[in-house]
Amino acid sequence: MTNTEQTSTLKLFGVTIEYEPGERVETKSVRRIGSWGTASRLVLGGLFIYWALRQGVGWDDAIVGLVVFPAAVSLVLALRGPDARPLRLGPGGHALNILIWTVAFNLALVPTLVFGGVTQILAATRGYAGCELFAVSNWLRQRDDQIGCPVHSPIDALQAQVKGRQLEEAC
């Protein structure tokens, strides 16, 4: 009897994601960031919320930022299935991350600030590495999917290097 390894692929925005269906994913609640990464996420999240409030947050902005955006991200990630390996996009994840945030900021500034602020704070309190984009989905689905973060990943890596420990690569 031979064991053939089958992988499935999902192509999203030009990035190919490979995963093995049926593999159970361990999702223990472990902090993957240190105090510097936590602080940077809290500060940036607070600044996003402050900026959104200065712009004026309406009910429609709040609903899009707190419900629609997190639901859309969770739905896209859920398409991979509950047993898919944790998502790691590699170097292309940084570029995809920048593209997503740039488009969102240009199309819907205030809802994006609300979403970004709340998810940064959630990522900080839960200790999530990578980008806050997946924080709500990871929390609701008990996952550890990550997309590279050009803002926080260097801070996390620097603290890990200073502390002399290995950083689990977030991208």
Backbone φ and ψ of 11, nearest 5°: -105, 125
Q: Which residue has the higher pLDDT, 79 or 146?
A: 79
Instruction: Look at residues 70, 41, 46 and name the one whose alpha carbon lies nearest to residue 134.
Output: 70
Q: What are the boundaries of each domain within the chain?
A: 33-163
> Residues with Cβ < 8 Å from 64, sequence gap 6 or more?
108, 111, 114, 115
pLDDT at 64: 97
Confidence of residue 165 (pLDDT cuts 50, 70, 90): low
Place of tokens 């002399």: 164
* DSSP secondary structure code for residue 84 in this structure: S
d(CA 84, CA 101): 25
Which residue did the predictor score with more confidence, 15 or 155?
155
pLDDT, tens only, 117-150: 999 999 999 988 878 889 999 898 888 888 888 8
pTM: 0.76
